[in-house]
Chain A
Amino acid sequence: MPEPLPELLPESLVVIDRVGKSFGANRVLKEVSLTVGKGEVVTLIGPSGCGKTTLLRCVNFLETYDSGAISIEGETVGIRIGADGRRTARPDREVAAMRARVGMVFQSYNLFPHLTVLDNLTVAPIKVRGLPLRQAREKAMALLERVGLSEKAAQYPAALSGGQQQRVAIARTLAMEPHLILLDEVTSALDPELVGEVLDVVQSLAADGMTMMIVTHEMQFAREVSSRVAFMAAGEIVELASPADLFGSPKSDRLRSFLGRYQAAHRI
């Protein structure tokens, strides 16, 4: 299925252009192309091991990629490609500057356990963006308010439930005022009754027009929050469509069987 050329989408924030990656002999990404427009929410679904998490990590350069290019706001991620096509690594400083504009929320929250909730939110704005302490704290408090956890500001992460920790992790990411947020299976580690509170926060971000790339196993959520959904299998994007089309009239056998298995597993 042809993807519109990047040049034709002036508003595109992320352009993934024929990205390939192998772990040894295992090709986890095979020429994956995808663009994410400003304000769009693109959700990646697919069986485990299909490469969706790897793709998301490549966008933030937590994972290197072997071929093709990812660019965010016109700047290639992690590498520079010369006029002659030669790829050179970007210096740490440039990679860090790119990451400062891209938020990431992890499956296992990854809050900093030795810092209070408030300090988790202020450490990067202060140390990376040079925000004055007072300003950083005020903003952090406002964000905690937004995710409904302002009374937890002085606590340490270990004192919070999984759902609360994940909401703090989202607030920590927002504190850097990212242009794009990557969410990697943010509810997979949570007890079922805590999933809702986290998805509500993500939902509200989408409503505010935040650009997001989401890897998730929650199909209902994907259907509700996404502008477009990409179905990946064996390192490729097999289908890419609006949620209504993708879930309503799946075209490929692989997607049909994936959705069938999902429904079977979730039928009570």
Chain B
Amino acid sequence: MDTAFLLRILPVLLEGLEITVALTALALVGAAIGGLIVVAGRRSRFAAMRGVTIAYIDVMRNTPVLVQIFILYFGLPEIGLFPEAFACGVIALVLQNSAYAGEIYRAGIESVKRTQTEAALSLGMMPRRALFDIVLPQALRRVLPVLGNQAVVILKDSSIASTISVTELTQAGKLLLDRSAAPYETFFMMAALYLAMAAVLLGGMKLLAWRFPVRT
């Protein structure tokens, strides 16, 4: 491998990496919050609300992110909206992963025994307070590893934004591959950078799991 070449392409890839980090970070925050909305809808007392949420989860789970990104980027202009490519990437990742995050939260909430809610209610807490202060903290701790895996999926899926020319890491690498005659170096560098980011995400989750252990 040609180290001089590696050093030359690194700045280009790092620029892409910055955008990948931004995409992933925004999508992570968006999906974490979107998931709460999804789980609220899924557990709503109104049947219509539950139905709409189930349909939403169904559509998101059963269609690829790639299609969603294209619908946003190429479809929306037909109805007079012109979102930027970067925004389309973030929105598509948030839409899809809110559905997954919501289902993960739900599994966590349902794993907390009903008696915990009863104990909280019997102390005079409002149902919402019981959910947020007693049930959710326990639920989130239990699903932390699953959420960590989903965070890595978000990171990896952010590469799909390259298909609508967002110059994130994958697109930056692709441009280099097009122009240079040294495909391995570029490819290995890209892979290594993604791996490093995945390691940071998983490490962060491990840290959270250590700080907030599941207690029974």
Contacts and interface: CB of A to CB of B under 8 A. Distances in A.
Given A110-B116, A157-B215, A128 B125 contact: yes
Contact of B118 (A62, A100, A114, A157): A62
Contacts of B216: 113, 158
Interface string A80-111: 00000000000011001101111110101011
B215 A158 contact: yes
A215 interface: no
B134 to A, nearest CB: 6
B116 A96 contact: no
A112 B134 contact: yes
Given A113-B215, A156-B215, A97 B123 contact: no
Contacts of A113: 138, 215-216
B122 interface: yes
Candidate in A93, A106, A127, A128 with the most chain B CB atoms within 10 angstroms: A127
Query: For this complex, into which size category does the number of interface residues on chain A fall?
Result: 20 to 34
A166 interface: no
A127 B215 contact: no
Given A113-B138, A158-B216, A96 B124 contact: yes
A115 to B, nearest CB: 8
Contacts of B129: 127-128
Contacts of B48: none
A112 B119 contact: yes
Contact of A96 (B121, B138, B215): B121
Nearest to A62: B118
B137 interface: yes
B63 interface: no
A122 to B, nearest CB: 11
Given A110-B119, A112-B119, A114-B137, A124 B215 contact: no
B111 to A, nearest CB: 12
Interface of B: 115-116, 118-127, 129, 133-134, 137-138, 141, 212, 215-216
Interface of A: 60, 62, 92-93, 96-97, 99-104, 106, 108, 110-114, 123-124, 127-129, 156-158, 172-173, 176
